[in-house]
């Protein structure tokens, strides 16, 4: 399987999702 199928990957996904999600 290729990770390309999963879309762009971010090493800081947790911090980025936390800044985007409603408080």
One character per residue 1-23, x = contact with another protein (rule: CB under 8 A): x-x-xxxxxxxxxx-xxx--xxx
Min dist CB 4 to another protein, Å, is 10
Min dist CB 8 to another protein, Å, is 7
12 vs 19: CA distance, rounded Å? 11
Q: What is the dihedral sign for C-alpha 18, 16, 22, 5?
A: negative
Are 10 and 3 contacting, i.e. CB atoms less than 8 angstroms apart?
A: no
Task: Provide the binding-site residues for another protein, judged by CB under 8 A.
Answer: 1, 3, 5-14, 16-18, 21-23
């Amino acid at each position: 399987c290729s990770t390309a199928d999963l879309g762009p990957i971010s090493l800081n996904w947790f911090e980025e999702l936390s800044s985007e999600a409603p408080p």
